[in-house]
Each structure stands twice: as structure tokens, then as C-alpha cells.
């Protein structure tokens, strides 16, 4: 009987200290964590300084490379919506020049609730040279975002 009681206590103790981690928990102190990554013309870009400005209906995201204003990406989506076409477009500041994603922009939002925003995207954009009037095409592949706010 003493062995059964001891075994039960040890089992209960082991279960008390063994728990799963919460991978989807919000960042500490109510901040924002995560990143937006993409490959532009074959070069991997990571936008690791992320700001999320949610309101009652929309999640607004602005991300930059180490806080630099000359390389940023901005996009938004209605809160709670998932699937393709949820993000209507992408605004970029690429090497100091403003641009918007072209009509071939495509996204898939997998998670958009409880302070978690995650998905993928691809497309292209053009940078216009004001002096020559010519446009340079740039291709976005492997775009993804994984943000907690």
C-alpha cells in the first residue's frame, strides 16, 4: 500500500512539471514579435523590426530591416480573414524608392486571429526612374510573414 501511494505521488509530481509550451502565445510586455521575409531578385531579405497597428477591423503591418526607413514593407488585412487574396496589396520602400506590388501579387493568409498573423506571398513590383522615365521590374518569391502581437 505504501508503494502504491508513493508511486501515485511520484506520478502526480511528474505530470505537474511536464507541460507543453504555448507556441502561439503573445510576446512579453504586449509587444510585437516576428518577421517578414522575402526573396527579391534572388536575394533574401528579412524585415525584422515589425510594428502592428490593429484596430477593431483591420491589422496593419509595417516591417523594416533593422529599423531602417529605406527598406520597408507595409500591408494590411481584415481581422479574422484567411485564405487567398486577403491582403489586397503590398507597399514597399526598396533602397529608398517607393513601389507597390503589381497585379500579379498573390497571398495566402493561414492564421489571422488571437494576436497571430501568418501567411505567404509572391509577386512583382516596379521602380520608376524619375529622370529616365523607365521602370525596373523586381520579382518577389518565397515571401512569408509570421507575426505575434
* pTM score, whole prediction: 0.78
Q: Is the pLDDT of residue 23 over 80?
A: no
Q: Sheet containing 43-47: which strands, arranged edge to edge?
A: 43-47, 33-40, 135-148, 116-128, 106-113, 83-84
Q: What is the pLDDT of residue 3?
A: 40
- Structure confidence by residue, pLDDT tens digits, 102-120: 999 999 999 999 999 999 9
Alpha-carbon span 118 to 84, nearest angstrom: 12
Q: Which three cell numbers stand for residue 144?
A: 512569408
Retrieve residue 3's grid coordinates.
508503494
Question: Which residues lie below 8 Å from residue 82, measured CB to CB, with a gap of 6+?
Answer: 109, 110, 111, 112, 119
Q: What is the pLDDT of residue 102?
A: 95
As a whole number of angstroms, the distance between CA 102 and CA 24 comes to 32
Which class for 121: exposed (0-12), middle (13-18), buried (19 or more C-beta within 10 A)?
Answer: buried
pLDDT recorded at residue 55: 87
Provide the pLDDT for residue 38: 98
The domains of the chain are located at 31-148
Lookup: cell for 118? 501568418
Summary mean pLDDT of the chain: 85
Q: What is the pLDDT of residues 73-88, one digit of tens each?
A: 999 999 999 999 999 9
Of 88, 43, 36, 86, the closest CA to residue 65 belongs to 36
Amino acid at each position: 500500500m505504501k508503494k502504491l501511494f508513493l508511486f501515485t505521488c511520484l506520478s502526480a509530481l511528474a505530470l505537474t512539471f511536464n507541460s507543453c509550451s504555448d507556441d502561439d502565445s503573445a510576446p512579453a510586455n504586449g509587444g510585437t514579435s516576428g518577421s517578414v521575409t522575402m526573396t527579391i531578385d534572388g536575394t533574401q531579405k528579412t524585415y525584422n523590426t515589425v510594428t502592428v497597428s490593429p484596430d477593431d477591423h483591420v491589422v496593419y503591418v509595417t516591417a523594416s530591416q533593422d529599423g531602417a526607413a529605406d527598406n520597408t514593407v507595409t500591408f494590411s488585412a481584415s481581422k479574422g480573414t484567411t485564405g487567398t487574396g486577403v491582403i489586397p496589396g503590398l507597399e514597399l520602400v526598396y533602397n529608398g524608392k517607393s513601389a507597390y506590388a503589381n497585379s500579379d501579387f498573390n497571398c495566402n493568409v493561414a492564421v489571422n486571429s488571437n494576436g497571430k498573423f501568418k501567411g505567404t506571398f509572391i509577386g512583382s513590383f516596379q521602380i520608376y526612374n524619375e529622370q529616365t522615365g523607365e521602370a525596373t521590374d523586381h520579382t518577389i518569391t518565397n515571401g512569408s510573414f509570421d507575426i505575434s502581437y
